[in-house]
Structure 1
Amino acid sequence: MKRSSAAAAALTLLMLGGCAQKPGPQPGFKDQGALPYVQAHGLKVEVQLPPTFVGASTVIDTKAAQAAATSSYNMVASSGNSAGLAGVLVASLVNTQMGSGTLQRDAEKAALNEARPMADLLAGVPLQERLQQRYKQASQVAGFKQGEGQVTARLVIEPKLMLTPDRGSFVLINQVQVQDIAGSALYRMRIEVVSQPIRRCGKECIDDGSLDLAKVTAALDECIDESMRVLSTDLMQPPPPPAAQETLRYVLDGQRVVERGYQLATNGSYWRYRNLYGAVKSVPVPFEDAMSQAQLQKVYAH
């Protein structure tokens, strides 16, 4: 029992240490003058495509991580370490970190390989031109006046497509800035939209792992449209009151997600919320046991 507890403690310390080392996301903000500036001068869309547009989330097997922690503890404990339990824990943690580094590198390598089919599929598409056109169209449909002349707002968008852990859908991550004519940021936000499933239905509708360009681009277009709708809504609505904060739960790709945040008004087939880091997320599945839209209206009205 002591050994399993110590191994679990080492794994917990490792996970906490790893989280602490990761830089937090840049918080979003909104200047009170952002919306009036955009309404007065309109905006021009500028898409800045990153060097690597397609990526995949890294997935580390929890059983493999636990096995590495247990193995590390057993190795150190059986070596006759005389520093007591605390010393064994520290030594086990060091060894576990080394093992975790290997697991992380393996996961990153696997993610790179698993992102390649999507990257290859989109390689023949002139992404810069297409995304520039699609974001501009989506911003117009979302109600943004297009800027003309020299005095106008700049809507700078850096998009990134990240495959979900099951590789059956993706998240379109938009780093968005609204800037005035001097280049000062009036609004900055990370807007994440989860796509509908993108796998092609194979024989007898069994997933054969194939990707269809038309289906992928249709899902991407839908995510771009939703991103601009979210941006338009977020610019217009006031900051959420403390009473609107709740624990949001939903099931996405077979995985349960639990996150504290502020539920926002739904739109069609998307449910939206702002997490505590300031990012706005839009998912194509309903929340479980969350406040109703009527309750939200009352909360935001106060």
Structure 2
Amino acid sequence: MNRVLMVAGSLAALLVGCAQKPAPPTGFKTPDAVSYVQAHGVKVDLQLPQTFVGASTVVDAEAAQKAASSSHNLVASSGNSAGLAGLLVASLINTQMGSGSLQRDAQNTAAKESRPLADLLAGVPLQERLQQRFQQASLAAGFKQGAGDISARLVIEPKLMLTPDRGSFVLVNQVQVQDIAGSALYRMRIEVSSQPIRRCGKRCIDDGSLDLAQVTTALDECIDESMRVLATDLMLPAPPQAAQETLRYVLDGQRVVERGYQLVSNGNYWRYRNLYGAVKSVPVPFEDALTQEQLRKVYGR
């Protein structure tokens, strides 16, 4: 019996290990980052991923409930026929297979639903256009353009992720500032949520259509905000403990609750740094958050 339990325990560890995903890289800033950028300027190095457009995965609630019910029934029958070891093994295998199947279905659906936007942008020379737009946005945000060999290298890897309702997207930027030796002085994930991109159909009813000009305008706005966020976050000191709070907001009909450090807002965007190395900017206000005056006092500005 002990041997069977040991096998079941090993199987549990194996399955749990396979299910775990690596944690996202934590953002950081070295003490020399600001002075290096101010002294030498930056050169934008846009690294366009092979798949620029994606979509968030959404698991159907009804399907998840059915999978949970099937899992319960299988575990109950296995427990009656095979004892404790059978119950453990059946529970682990069924949970992994059920969740894996739902996840695969959600990923396939997300890939299918991202195709219209990907096809819309297929005719745009994205590498050249995004390189130019990020360069312009960095200058507008106050970064000095680097001219010499020792300029800071601003590495940006952008990706568009459609939101669950597919009516807008999040521009996700993996950003690094590197010195002449290629050492990272600053690293952060900057996420900017767009305005709605679906075209207003007949009688202003959403017909699911996409308009290139509207998408481009929303993307340009997100690029500009990304560079403003970068400039602000790079220059600010580390967020003090007094700035940490529970931030709540409603975006695209989804209520978001996340612990983080609120940053000073800008125009139509409200910003915060979460606890996992990402700065997020959303076009909706936070609920019951610190006022801008309180934030300036917290950051000593």
Fold-level similarity (TM above 0.5): yes
Q: Please state if 1:269 is matched with 2:265.
A: no
Q: Please state if 1:284 is matched with 2:283.
A: yes
Between 175-184 and 290-299, report the one with greater CA deviation: 290-299
- Mapped to 2, the partners of 1:113 and 1:47 lie a distance apart of 26
Give how far 1:78 is off. 3.3
Structure 2 counterpart of 1:37? 36
Output aligned runs, 1:17-32, within 5 Å. Answer: 21-32=20-31
Give how far 1:183 is off. 1.0
Give how far 1:110 is off. 0.4
In structure 2, the CA distance between the partners of 1:100 and 1:169, relative to structure 1 (3 Å rule), is: same
- Mapped to 2, the partners of 1:188 and 1:20 lie a distance apart of 27
Structure 1 counterpart of 2:161? 162
Which structure 2 segments of 5+ residues have no match? 1-11
- Mapped to 2, the partners of 1:82 and 1:156 lie a distance apart of 56
Instruction: Tell me how many residue pairs correspond in the alignment.
Output: 287
Structure 2 counterpart of 1:258? 257
Q: Please state if 1:246 is matched with 2:245.
A: yes
Mapped contact 2:41–2:146 kept (Cα < 8 A): yes
Structure 1 counterpart of 2:119? 120
Between 112-121 and 70-79, report the one with greater CA deviation: 70-79
- Mapped to 2, the partners of 1:238 and 1:174 lie a distance apart of 21
Give how far 1:19 is off. 10
Which structure 1 segments of 5+ residues have no match? 1-12
Counterpart residue identity of residue 251, structure 1:
V
Structure 2 counterpart of 1:83? 83
Output aligned runs, 1:125-274, within 5 Å. Answer: 125-274=124-273
Give how far 1:95 is off. 0.9
Give how far 1:20 is off. 6.6
- Mapped to 1, the partners of 2:90 and 2:61 lie a distance apart of 21
| Deviation readout 1:228-255 (Å, 9 max, x if unpaired) | 0000001110000112111101101101
SS state of the match for residue 282, structure 1? strand
In structure 2, the CA distance between the partners of 1:151 and 1:90, relative to structure 1 (3 Å rule), is: same
Structure 2 counterpart of 1:3? none
Mapped contact 1:69–1:92 kept (Cα < 8 A): no
Counterpart residue identity of residue 294, structure 1:
E
SS state of the match for residue 78, structure 1? helix
Mapped contact 1:42–1:144 kept (Cα < 8 A): yes
| Deviation readout 1:10-30 (Å, 9 max, x if unpaired) | xxx9xxx59970111101110
Give how far 1:73 is off. 1.1
Give how far 1:93 is off. 3.8
Q: Please state if 1:55 is matched with 2:61.
A: no
Give how far 1:71 is off. 1.4
| TM-score (norm: length of structure 1) | 0.90
| Deviation readout 1:19-67 (Å, 9 max, x if unpaired) | 9701111011101111111111111111010111001111112332122
| TM-score (norm: length of structure 2) | 0.91
Counterpart residue identity of residue 193, structure 1:
V
- Mapped to 1, the partners of 2:197 and 2:290 lie a distance apart of 30
- Mapped to 1, the partners of 2:17 and 2:291 lie a distance apart of 37
Give how far 1:89 is off. 6.1
* Cα RMSD (Å): 2.0
SS state of the match for residue 299, structure 2? helix
- Mapped to 1, the partners of 2:63 and 2:187 lie a distance apart of 38
SS state of the match for residue 81, structure 2? coil
